[in-house]
Amino acid sequence: MSQILVLVDHVEGSVRKTTAELLTIARRLGEPAAVFVGRGWDAAAPVLGEFGAARAYVVPAEDADDYLVVPKVEALQAAVQAAGAAGDVAAVLIPSSTDGKEVAGRLAVRLGSGIITDAVDVRPADGGIETTQAAFAGGYTVAAHVSRGIPVITVKPNSAAPEPAPTQPDVQALDVTFSAAAKAARVVERKPKAKTGRPDLSEAAVVVSGGRGTGGDFGPVEAFADALGAAVGASRAAVDAGWYPHSNQVGQTGKQVSPQLYVAAGISGAIQHRAGMQTSKMIVAVNKDPEAPIFELADFGVVGDLFTVLPQATEEVVKRKG
Amino acid sequence: MKIVVCVKYVPDAQGDRRFSDTDHTVDRAGTDGILSELDEYAVEEALKLAEANPDTTVTVLTVGPEKATEALRKALQMGATDAVHVVDDALHGSDALATSLVLAKAIERLDHDLVLAGMASTDGGMSVVPAMLAERLGIPQVTFAGALTLDGSVVRIERDGDTSTEVVEATLPALVSVTDQINDPRYPSFKGIMAAKKKSVHTWSLADLGVEPGQVGLAAAWSAVDGVTARPPRQAGQIVADDGDGGRKLVDFLAGAKLV
């Protein structure tokens, strides 16, 4: 069976949900082969085995995270070579994060391969691999395939439900010395973000977002999010005003999310924002303005003040869960 | 210092964006296009650097159809020094790999200490071309900058990642991509609009860059679109006014949809 390489998305060995999703997809296409770069292999190994990694290529390089993007590219190149020696490599799957897409882009150039980004589905078809993407803020669904080289495909979070398929990976350690090019962009400082205890915005099944209507007070938004076990998002207006970090921004110039449920509170629903959440399965909106464009998208909307509606909704959710 | 800013002419997101029925490529001719919004931040950052560093020129570069000059014109009106437009019929339907190849060849023809780009285009939204450019040019990539400082020949940026914020630095020449957090792009002033009329837009073909037509375009692309389906626009659902029970009604709805 052909190997499907999956770049493991982790922080010091703590494996993120996207990796489990990609391994699940990889099992449809061939034999999943995880590629682990950096520190923390011992912590990661059991998780990778649980989600079906038949093989693992490990590049334990201590300095991989000291430089931007390129060390992962070179590690993947080494893995492709090692995998090629063992058999056929039918694809490389990489999570659609900011770094992931850049790793994928550079890998595609080095391998002489076609690249498809932000796939929401990946399936075998006609002896090859077919991807599905959403284009133009979800206005179109596109079916495509890579026609040259080993397909390099980045996959959006929430594209597959992770399926455990416990196995013991066949592990191969690779000794990779990074080139001068890999060390050209130096990470001189890294501040881990304070853990909020909330799910990651790009991975969450439920997102509750606040906009200009919060006036800077995200309290009701956060409380409702916590009642639902949701991630918190923010409109561009809210981020520009300094009320929430850019990494929580949902929109054309922020993250594009497609959760099961998206709650937009105090967000007017300008195209810029819609581009970031239009493909959510269910959309609920709360806004004082009955003419707000967000209501055109919403499956359910409340015209009212989020400072009364959300706390009441939060109380109701807690009551029902209790 | 010589700065090259890569920009893209994209269909206006406020308008009707669509794909060609014949070859599934983006319809760039039939709809109004603009300078990609995220590129405005790159142009603005270049202009700020030029204002802070004497003897700096800002060249705006695009690969695109005839109408792509409109994107260049906007950048010139903002204050860029001059522009380069790579235009060739053979480029139609190029993928990111071919686009980055052509951009890299063009940049190599221009003196460049710093190459700036937006974090993604607002049509394809792939976020891969800046990284591909760095790869092809053999210069460091310093991407997704929310803040930038230049200290002699060292560029230092702050970037806001998923799990951490990072400070990254590299020595020039380097490629930097910027997010919409980095600055507030200026509106072209009347003076800027008038001055832009006198600025040079150089037009280059593939032959000028030593690129064979067979290396680019739809037939040469390394990925292929098999089908495009328009999704029906979302319909508005149930909208209620808050009569003191809006929150409860919201949760009733979620419960009905088994989301709570």
Which pLDDT score, from 0 to 100, does residue B176 have?
98
Better-predicted residue by pLDDT, A108 or B180: A108
Which residue in A has a C-alpha nearest to residue B130's C-alpha? A102
Q: Do A295 and B238 touch (CB under 8 A)?
A: no
CA distance A190 to B154: 18
Which pLDDT score, from 0 to 100, does residue A85 have?
87
Please report which confidence band the pLDDT of residue B66 belongs to, taking 50, 70 and 90 as the band edges.
very high
The overall average pLDDT reported for chain B is 95
Which pLDDT score, from 0 to 100, does residue A158 have?
86
Give B162's contacts in chain A (Cβ within 8 Å).
97-98, 193, 200, 202, 247
* Weakest-pLDDT range from A11-15, A209-213, B163-167, B237-241: B163-167
Residue B231: CA atoms inside 13 Å, Cβ hemisphere, count? 15
Residue B188, pLDDT > 80, answer: yes
Residue whose pair of structure tokens reads 């130096």 in the numeric block: A186
Which pLDDT score, from 0 to 100, does residue B148 have?
98
Pairing outcome for strands B238-241 and B141-151: unpaired
Structure tokens that stand for A270 in this block: 């300008």
For residue B217, give the nearest of B88, B44, B52 by alpha carbon: B88
CA distance B82 to B58: 7
Residue type, B204: W
Which pLDDT score, from 0 to 100, does residue A126 have?
87
Which pLDDT score, from 0 to 100, does residue A86 have?
81
Residue whose pair of structure tokens reads 């054309």 in the numeric block: A252
Instruction: Average the pLDDT over B120-147 and give the result.
Output: 95
Q: Is the dihedral of CA A6, A157, A191, B45 positive or negative?
A: positive
Which pLDDT score, from 0 to 100, does residue A207 have?
98
Q: What kind of fold does domain B2-220 have according to CATH?
A: Rossmann fold (3.40.50)
Structure tokens that stand for B199 in this block: 């600025």
* Total beta-carbon pairs less than 8 A apart between chain A and chain B: 271
Q: Which residue among B144, B170, B248 sits closest to A312, beta carbon to beta carbon?
A: B248
Residue B32, pLDDT > 90, answer: no
Residue B15, pLDDT > 90, answer: no
* Weakest-pLDDT range from A208-217, A244-253, B4-13, B108-117: A244-253
Q: Do B234 and A278 touch (CB under 8 A)?
A: yes
The whole-angstrom distance between A259's CA and the closest CA on chain B is 12
Which pLDDT score, from 0 to 100, does residue B141 have?
97
The whole-angstrom distance between A10's CA and the closest CA on chain B is 10
Structure tokens that stand for A99 in this block: 């770094």
What is the value of pTM for the model shown? 0.93
Q: Which residue among A275, A295, A313 sits closest to B236, beta carbon to beta carbon?
A: A295
Q: Give pLDDT tens digits along chain A (322 positions).
A: 899 999 999 999 999 999 999 999 999 999 999 999 999 999 999 999 999 999 999 999 999 999 999 999 999 999 999 999 888 999 999 999 889 999 999 999 999 999 999 999 999 998 899 999 998 877 899 999 999 999 999 999 889 999 999 999 999 999 999 999 999 999 999 998 888 899 989 889 999 999 999 999 999 999 999 999 999 999 999 999 999 988 899 998 888 898 999 999 999 999 889 989 988 999 999 999 999 999 999 999 999 999 999 999 999 999 998 7
Please report which confidence band the pLDDT of residue B178 belongs to, taking 50, 70 and 90 as the band edges.
very high
Render the burial of A172-197: b for 16+ CB within 10 Å, e for the rest: eebebebeebbbbbbbeeeeeeeeee
Instruction: Average the pLDDT over B41-53 and give the result.
Output: 98
Which pLDDT score, from 0 to 100, does residue A203 have?
84
Which pLDDT score, from 0 to 100, does residue A322 have?
78
Residue B112, pLDDT > 80, answer: yes
Q: Is the dihedral of CA B175, A247, B166, B158 positive or negative?
A: positive
Residue whose pair of structure tokens reads 């380069």 in the numeric block: B84
Which pLDDT score, from 0 to 100, does residue B162 have?
73
Give B183's contacts in chain A (Cβ within 8 Å).
none
Segment B77-100, tens digit of pLDDT: 999 999 999 999 999 999 999 999
Give A312's contacts in chain B (Cβ within 8 Å).
245-248
Which residue in B has a C-alpha nearest to residue A66's C-alpha? B168
Give A245's contacts in chain B (Cβ within 8 Å).
160
Secondary structure (H, E, C), chain A: CCEEEEECCEECCEECHHHHHHHHHHHHHCEEEEEEECCCHHHHHHHHHHCCCCEEEEECCCCHHHECCHHHHHHHHHHHHHHHHHCCEEEEEEECCHHHHHHHHHHHHHHCCCEEEEEEEEEEECCEEEEEEEECCCCEEEEEEECCCCCEEEECCCCCCCCCCCCCCEEEECCCCCCCHHHCCEEEEEEECCCCCCCCCCCCCEEEEECHHHCCCCHHHHHHHHHHCCEEEECHHHHHCCCCCHHHEECCCCECCCCCEEEEECCCCCHHHHCCCCCCCEEEEEECCCCCCHHHHCCEEEECCHHHHHHHHHHHHHHHHC
CA distance A68 to A74: 12
Render the burial of B227-241: b for 16+ CB within 10 Å, e for the rest: ebeeeeebeebeeee
Q: Do B162 and A202 touch (CB under 8 A)?
A: yes
Segment A23-41, tens digit of pLDDT: 999 999 999 999 999 999 9
CA distance A231 to A215: 19
Q: Do A297 and B19 touch (CB under 8 A)?
A: no
Q: Which residue among A252, A315, A321 sits closest to B122, beta carbon to beta carbon?
A: A252
The whole-angstrom distance between B23's CA and the closest CA on chain A is 13
CA distance A85 to A198: 42
Which pLDDT score, from 0 to 100, does residue A246 have?
86
Which residue in B has a C-alpha nearest to residue A227's C-alpha? B260
Give A307's contacts in chain B (Cβ within 8 Å).
none
Contact B226, A145 (CB under 8 A): yes
Which pLDDT score, from 0 to 100, does residue A256 have?
87
Segment A90-117, tens digit of pLDDT: 999 999 988 999 999 999 999 999 999 9
Which residue in B has a C-alpha nearest to residue A289's C-alpha? B241
The whole-angstrom distance between A105's CA and the closest CA on chain B is 5
Secondary structure (H, E, C), chain B: CEEEEECCEEECCCCCCCECCCCCCECCCCCCEEECHHHHHHHHHHHHHHHHCCCCEEEEEEECCHHHHHHHHHHHHHCCCEEEEECCHHHCCCCHHHHHHHHHHHHHHCCCCEEEEECCCCCCCCCCHHHHHHHHHCCCEEEEEEEEEEECCEEEEEEECCCEEEEEEEECCEEEEECCCCCCCCCCCHHHHHHHCCCCEEEECHHHHCCCHHHCCCCCCCEEEEEEEECCCCCCCEEEECCCCHHHHHHHHHHHCCCC
